[in-house]
A and B are shown apart, each in its own frame.
Chain A
């Protein structure tokens, strides 16, 4: 049963996004709900000014959680920041539920809720949610098809495609031939370079974008950094990165992509 059907069956209406004014402060390196207002005129009609409001905060991978009653629709009292300080470091998902309130037996019955949690991210840590790779075209001044660079400030990978003849554009990464042949190597290279950085710390890396992305494809935990046996660590990183690339590719069906491509040019 889909979530939408559940909500409809429950009788709770959907709070439209434009009924919520939400501001999050990131200056303390974690999310602080600075302002939350509910615009009465845009809320579903069954909601009253004195209906109760419940806020739930979750982090990006839904591993941290905080829930609190925050007054009424017309008089919201934000939760004490100390109750959730530090739980939401890079992004926070905010779920608002409005309940009947008052003193009746059904005072906790939900009247309305956000259809989906509203995701707010620390602008200084935002990454491209579409993937791990920014693609640019450049004249590389050589005959290589592509090269991989890392942004010096942010540390994000950038794939530079060689367009010295002016024909190649960024869409080439979507080409079946390119995907099936170059992508596994590119993924492996990105992961290995990220994890082999000197001063790399496992705990720090676990929260970084590269691991968040890799977790979608690989269940195995990141290799643990070992200063005493760097060779073994690098071996583990190579094995792990290869595993991630293999899993990514298995979802993209590169072999059939390549055969389709070859059939196309032989036609």
Chain B
């Protein structure tokens, strides 16, 4: 589907969004009666000024999707403002339903908090907001750009163990920790994540990294340190440059 510009829902569109997902939250194998025509219907959707063309397609990575959205919005700064508008996020979620949810035939595998209700900017919740797939990844891309490559290297429908492990802690949503996570677990030359990163056991995993950060946090003023400074504090044998 191609759009000449982006839209946001009006009140009638918001109702349609809520109707679509009503009673479907957390259920498995869900059939949604999405009517994608209303995304351009001015009865439900208002064109957003100063936005460019946007195409809904199966993006290879979350970053590719984030870049397409941000470009259409006019750049990362504009995108940062736009994701504070719930009516826009609802429209975008509706438009990208088949991209951010796993679909099998006519059914969606689950409809969980990744699409359910976009964060309320008047009542921000760090420990919950990041889980909304579009809000979470767009905010990461807007705030950290390439430094967030690790978290944006997944398919848009995949949250990922690393994403949950690192970002579930509010203290970890800071540019230095995001950058360090990417440095540790992402290979820019291949565009691949470290295979070990998402493991639940063993060394050099995101879980271990978060655990060590918690310990370092009682010894160092981590929020004030650079990614490189923090890396020097990590066990060299496990997280050092040549520890692979």
- Residue from the set B124, B171, B223 with the largest chain A CB neighbour count within 10 Å: B223
B170 touches A63 (CB 8 A): yes
Assess whether A74 is interfacial by the CB under 8 Å rule: no
Assess whether A179 is interfacial by the CB under 8 Å rule: no
- A161 and B220 alpha carbons, distance in the complex (Å): 53
B206 CB to nearest A CB, Å: 20
Q: Which residues of B contact A11 (CB under 8 A)?
A: 219
Residues of B in contact, count (CB < 8 Å):
22
- A206 and B117 alpha carbons, distance in the complex (Å): 14
B125 touches A108 (CB 8 A): no
- The one of B120, B127, B224 in contact with A203, judged by C-beta atoms closer than 8 angstroms, is B120
Assess whether B128 is interfacial by the CB under 8 Å rule: yes
Assess whether B212 is interfacial by the CB under 8 Å rule: no
Nearest to A8 among chain B residues (CB) is B218
Nearest to A206 among chain B residues (CB) is B123
Residues of A in contact, count (CB < 8 Å):
29
B225 touches A64 (CB 8 A): no
- A12 and B215 alpha carbons, distance in the complex (Å): 12
A62 touches B170 (CB 8 A): yes
Q: Could you give, for residues 120-153 of chain B, a 1 whenever the CB lies within 8 Å of some chain A CB and a 0 otherwise?
A: 1011111110000000000000000000000000
A110 touches B171 (CB 8 A): no
Q: Which residues of B contact A7 (CB under 8 A)?
A: 218
Nearest to A89 among chain B residues (CB) is B123
B220 touches A65 (CB 8 A): no
- A17 and B43 alpha carbons, distance in the complex (Å): 59
- Residue from the set A7, A12, A108 with the largest chain B CB neighbour count within 10 Å: A108
B221 touches A97 (CB 8 A): yes
A239 CB to nearest B CB, Å: 14
- The one of B120, B173, B221 in contact with A110, judged by C-beta atoms closer than 8 angstroms, is B221
B224 touches A69 (CB 8 A): yes
Residues of chain A in range 82-138 having any CB-CB distance to chain B below 8 Å: 86-87, 89, 97, 99, 108-110, 113
Assess whether A6 is interfacial by the CB under 8 Å rule: yes
Quick one: given A10-B218, A10-B219, A110-B219, are A63 and B225 in contact (CB under 8 Å)? no
Q: Could you give, for residues 220-244 of chain B, a 1 whenever the CB lies within 8 Å of some chain A CB and a 0 otherwise?
A: 1111110001000000000000000
Assess whether A250 is interfacial by the CB under 8 Å rule: no
- The one of A6, A62, A110, A113 in contact with B127, judged by C-beta atoms closer than 8 angstroms, is A62
Q: Could you give, for residues 140-176 of chain B, a 1 whenever the CB lies within 8 Å of some chain A CB and a 0 otherwise?
A: 0000000000000000000000000000001101100
Q: Which residues of B contact A68 (CB under 8 A)?
A: 223
A64 touches B221 (CB 8 A): no
- A63 and B34 alpha carbons, distance in the complex (Å): 33
Quick one: given A63-B128, A65-B170, are A108 and B229 in contact (CB under 8 Å)? yes
Q: Which residues of B contact A203 (CB under 8 A)?
A: 120, 123
- A113 and B218 alpha carbons, distance in the complex (Å): 8
B121 CB to nearest A CB, Å: 9
Nearest to B216 among chain A residues (CB) is A10
Q: Which residues of B contact A12 (CB under 8 A)?
A: 218-219
A54 touches B224 (CB 8 A): yes
Q: Which residues of A contact B170 (CB under 8 A)?
A: 58, 62-65
A7 CB to nearest B CB, Å: 6
Q: Could you give, for residues 1-41 of chain A, a 1 whenever the CB lies within 8 Å of some chain B CB and a 0 otherwise?
A: 00100110011100000000000000000000000000000
Assess whether A254 is interfacial by the CB under 8 Å rule: no
- A65 and B170 alpha carbons, distance in the complex (Å): 6
- A63 and B129 alpha carbons, distance in the complex (Å): 10
- A65 and B120 alpha carbons, distance in the complex (Å): 16
B residues neighboring A (CB under 8 Å)? 120, 122-128, 170-171, 173-174, 215, 218-225, 229
A residues neighboring B (CB under 8 Å)? 3, 6-7, 10-12, 52, 54, 56, 58, 62-65, 67-69, 86-87, 89, 97, 99, 108-110, 113, 203, 206-207
29 of the cross-chain contacts (CB-CB < 8 Å) are A3-B218, A6-B215, A6-B218, A7-B218, A12-B219, A56-B171, A58-B170, A62-B170, A63-B125, A63-B126, A63-B170, A64-B125, A65-B170, A65-B173, A67-B171, A67-B174, A69-B224, A87-B124, A97-B221, A99-B221, A99-B224, A108-B221, A108-B224, A108-B225, A109-B220, A109-B221, A110-B220, A113-B218, A203-B120
Known A63-B128, A86-B124; further 7 A-B contacts with Cβ < 8 A: A6-B215, A52-B224, A56-B171, A62-B127, A86-B122, A109-B220, A110-B218
